[in-house]
């Protein structure tokens, strides 16, 4: 059983989003990048499957992603067996990334491919479905648990309103993980440092046809604030008094 | 180039979903602007065509593999319909079905997709979609220049009344593709929502905690306030995903949609998926140390006082 986990470096949403001077893209030069949080969930689910069933977990990133080596060393420190970067795809768009990962997977097949259900910057769609279609494999998104059962995976897929479906999915398959069965494990910095000394990240390169994107960004902009909260200033006690008054006026506080 | 628009109808228990009506209303507008037709695809044994009077045509496909939704079966059928009916644009909801099918069909139907769409218009022949990305911090206005487009649309973006009509669409029954006889994904069981916990959708007042609370232990602080107010504690997705609270308490797109008389949020920044689940509350009071947090765009009142200072002060104020 081999499980490939595809990781993406995405802008840290805590930061201010700066745009390029022509306003059609993010200015990535000074942005801080972190691993897509849903990809972290996918990694955890893969490691849980390794713990329970035994599997080789391969963490995969794009060579051009900022700080991707750090994310891959961290994945190995958490328990991934090896890490790979794929060169050949540029850009953050899902379609070219999916084409590159699909090309790599054709030569390095996996029984299960796990990735986050979405990413904050996947404007042209989500990787798991793109990958499933590109490889001709069954794929399921919004997955909240995975179990292995011979040549199939038993997968729980979540719908809105708390409904879910348990599915049999023939392997190989691609799964878009919403959340792992437990919170992602933590790798201590000392362990990550050790891994950086002892592990070599494999470097793969693929040739991907430059397909026409078919979409053109006219402009990006922060949402215009049509409404904004009335801000309550003052000491904690003053703010608290105002909030309680608002609730009392609606008879929502007893007494 | 056709100016037709195709919408996938989603239904549960024989009722077409609100999100579908939103897409139909917008689809009607676009198809009319292009002089094309609005077609709606509906799969499975339940005939909901009587609820789809806004459309010009209802395309029905039935097969045992379509008795309940699976990505594999729906994708095969939809791809066949897209190839046969050749619309300019396919509209899907940005829910589980849209996340399953949107980008897969973009690849297999060779179309261009815009995800997280919250506004959609036409500029001459070209669809122009506005997408909400990067946690709602950035909007991207995007032209679909390719001849085939797919938009996955965030729920609540378009008025649903515009999707209801009392016309009599042409009913087209299409054959199911052969691939459905050997499904690669099959349903084991439907899992109904857990009803053993308190129903947060029934509460008049909700106290809600977000990532800013920091840890499971610190959740106690907010729990005390909820107890003092006699309100259930709810939470945004990161708190649920971290395992600090059960799924039954999750507010937002992948959780529950709530509409209490008052919603008090602490340490919630307001990702679009969260706002989708609570923006209709009658009164929203938000506490977040980041003055630029998107939660303040939907809240009626806000404060940047640290929640660990504010919450005990509110508890004291209620007690006093």
Quick check: B71 and A121 CB within 8 A? no
B248 reaches A (C-beta below 8 A): yes
The candidate with the shortest Cα–Cα distance to A36, out of A135, A176, A133, is: A176
Quick check: B301 and A140 CB within 8 A? no
In terms of CA atoms, which chain B residue is nearest residue A15? Answer: B137
**List of chain B residues whose C-beta atoms are within 8 Å of the C-beta of residue A117:** 99
* Cβ-nearest to A162 among B184, B194, B264: B194
The yes-or-no verdict on residue A161 having pLDDT over 80 is: no
The yes-or-no verdict on residue A166 having pLDDT over 70 is: yes
In terms of CA atoms, which chain B residue is nearest residue A180? Answer: B241
Query: Given pLDDT bands bounded at 50, 70 and 90, which one contains residue A255?
Result: low
Instruction: State mean pLDDT over B213-235.
Output: 95
How high is the pLDDT of residue B218? 94
Edge-first strand order for the sheet with B126-133 is A215-221, B138-144, B126-133, B112-123, B149-153, B89-93, B5-8, B38-43, B57-61, B170-173
How high is the pLDDT of residue A92? 84
How high is the pLDDT of residue A29? 87
How high is the pLDDT of residue B254? 82
How high is the pLDDT of residue B1? 64
Domain B5-181 CATH (choose: 3.40.50.620, 3.40.1080.10, 3.30.1490.190, 1.10.287.610): 3.40.50.620
Window from A136-140, A167-171, A211-215, B26-30 with minimum mean pLDDT: A211-215
Give the whole-angstrom CA distance, residue B72 versus residue B94. Answer: 17
Contacts of B151 (CB under 8 A, 6+ apart): B89, B90, B91, B92, B113, B114, B117, B120, B127, B129, B144
Task: Write out chain B in H/E/C secondary structure.
Answer: CCCCEEEECCEECCEECHHHHHHHHHHHHHHHHHCCCEEEEEECCCCCHHHCECCCEEEEECCHHHCCCCHHHHHHHHHHHHHHHCCCEEEEECCHHHHHHHHHHHHHCCCEEEEEEEEEEEECCEEEEEEEEHHHCEEEEEEECCCCEEEEECCCCCCCHHHCCECCCEEEECCCCHHHHCCCEEEEEEECCCCCCCCHHHCCEEEEECHHHCCCCCHHHHHHHHHHHCCCEEECHHHHHCCCCCHHHEECCCCECCCCCEEEEECCCCCHHHHHHHCCCCCEEEECCCCCCCHHHHCCEEECCCHHHHHHHHHHHHHC
- pLDDT for B96-107, tens place per residue? 999 999 999 999
CB atoms near residue B106 (< 10 Å): 30
Domain assignments of chain A as residue spans, ordered by start: 2-205
Residue range(s) in chain B whose domain bears CATH number 3.40.50.620: 5-181
- pLDDT for B133-155, tens place per residue? 998 889 999 999 999 999 999 98
- pLDDT for A93-135, tens place per residue? 999 999 999 999 999 999 999 999 999 999 999 999 999 999 9
The yes-or-no verdict on residue A254 having pLDDT over 80 is: no
Phi and psi, residue B7, nearest 5°: -120, 135
**List of chain A residues whose C-beta atoms are within 8 Å of the C-beta of residue B299:** 229
Strand partners, A112: A3, A173
Q: How near does any CA of chain B get to the CA of A200, in Å?
A: 31
Quick check: B254 and A214 CB within 8 A? no
Q: How near does any CA of chain B get to the CA of A132, in Å?
A: 7
Could you tell me the fold of the domain covering B200-319? Rossmann fold (3.40.50)
Strand partners, B121: B128
B135 reaches A (C-beta below 8 A): yes
Quick check: B190 and A237 CB within 8 A? no
* Cβ-nearest to B131 among A123, A154, A226: A123
Quick check: B184 and A98 CB within 8 A? no
Query: Given pLDDT bands bounded at 50, 70 and 90, which one contains residue B319?
Result: confident
Q: Could you report the predicted ipTM of this complex, rounded to two decimals?
A: 0.93
Instruction: State mean pLDDT over B225-240.
Output: 95
Give the whole-angstrom CA distance, residue B281 versus residue B270. Answer: 14
The yes-or-no verdict on residue B58 having pLDDT over 80 is: yes
Q: How near does any CA of chain A get to the CA of B170, in Å?
A: 31
The answer to whether A115 and A128 have CB atoms below 8 angstroms apart is yes
How high is the pLDDT of residue A83? 98
The yes-or-no verdict on residue B164 having pLDDT over 90 is: yes
How high is the pLDDT of residue B320? 53
Q: Specify the 3-state DSSP secondary structure of A39.
A: helix
Could you tell me the fold of the domain covering A2-205? Rossmann fold (3.40.50)
Question: Percent of chain B having pLDDT more than 70?
Answer: 99
The tokens for B106 are 């973009």
How high is the pLDDT of residue A19? 94
B182 reaches A (C-beta below 8 A): no
Quick check: A123 and B191 CB within 8 A? no
């Amino acid at each position: 059983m081999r499980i490939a986990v595809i990781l993406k470096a995405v802008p840290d949403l805590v930061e201010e989003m700066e745009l390029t001077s022509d306003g059609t893209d993010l200015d990535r030069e000074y942005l801080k990048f972190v691993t897509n949080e849903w990809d972290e969930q996918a990694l955890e689910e893969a490691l849980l499957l390794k713990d329970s069933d035994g599997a080789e977990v391969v963490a995969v990133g794009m060579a051009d992603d900022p700080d991707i080596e750090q994310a891959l060393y961290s994945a190995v420190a958490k328990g991934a067996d090896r890490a790979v970067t794929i060169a050949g795809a540029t850009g953050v768009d899902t379609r070219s990334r999916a084409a590159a990962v699909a090309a790599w997977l054709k030569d390095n097949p996996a029984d299960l491919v796990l990735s986050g259900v979405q990413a904050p910057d996947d404007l042209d769609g989500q990787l798991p479905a793109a990958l499933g279609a590109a490889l001709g494999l069954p794929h399921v998104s919004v997955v909240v648990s995975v179990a292995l059962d011979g040549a199939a995976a038993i997968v729980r897929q979540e719908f809105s309103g708390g409904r879910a479906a348990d599915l049999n999915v023939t392997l190989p398959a691609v799964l878009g993980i919403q959340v792992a069965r437990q919170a992602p494990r933590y790798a201590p910095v000392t362990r990550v440092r050790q891994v950086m000394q002892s592990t070599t990240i494999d470097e793969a390169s693929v040739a991907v046809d430059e397909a026409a994107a078919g979409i053109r960004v006219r402009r990006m902009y922060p949402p215009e604030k049509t409404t904004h909260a009335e801000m309550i200033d003052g000491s904690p006690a003053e703010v608290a008094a105002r909030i309680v008054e608002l609730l009392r006026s609606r008879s929502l506080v007893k007494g | 180039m056709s100016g037709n628009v195709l919408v996938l109808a989603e239904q549960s228990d024989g009722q077409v979903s609100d999100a579908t009506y939103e897409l139909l209303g917008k689809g009607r507008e676009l198809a009319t602007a292009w002089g094309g037709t609005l077609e709606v695809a509906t799969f499975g044994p339940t005939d909901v065509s009587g609820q789809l009077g806004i459309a010009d045509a209802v395309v029905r496909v039935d097969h045992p593999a379509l008795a309940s939704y699976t990505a594999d079966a729906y994708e095969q059928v939809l791809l066949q319909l897209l190839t046969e009916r050749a619309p300019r644009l396919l509209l899907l909801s940005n829910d589980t079905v849209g996340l399953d099918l949107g980008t897969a069909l973009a690849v297999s139907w060779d179309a261009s997709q815009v995800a997280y769409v919250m506004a959609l218009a036409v500029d001459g022949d070209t669809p122009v979609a506005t997408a909400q990305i990067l946690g709602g911090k950035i909007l991207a206005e995007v032209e679909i220049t390719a001849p085939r487009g797919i938009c996955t649309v965030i729920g609540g973006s378009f008025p649903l009344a515009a999707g209801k009509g009392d016309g009599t669409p042409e009913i087209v029954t299409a054959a199911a593709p052969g691939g459905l006889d050997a499904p690669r994904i099959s349903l084991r069981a439907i899992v109904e929502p857990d009803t053993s916990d308190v129903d947060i959708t029934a509460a008049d007042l909700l106290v809600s905690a977000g990532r800013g609370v920091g840890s499971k232990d610190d959740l106690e602080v907010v729990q005390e306030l909820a107890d003092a107010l006699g309100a259930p504690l709810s939470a945004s997705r990161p708190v649920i995903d971290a395992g600090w609270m059960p799924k039954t308490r999750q507010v937002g797109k992948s959780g529950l949609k709530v509409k209490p008389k008052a919603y008090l949020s602490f340490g919630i920044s307001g990702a679009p998926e969260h706002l989708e689940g609570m923006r209709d509350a009658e009164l929203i009071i938000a506490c977040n140390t980041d003055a630029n947090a998107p939660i303040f765009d939907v809240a009626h009142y806000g404060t940047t006082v640290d929640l660990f200072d504010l919450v005990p002060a509110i508890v004291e104020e209620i007690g006093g």
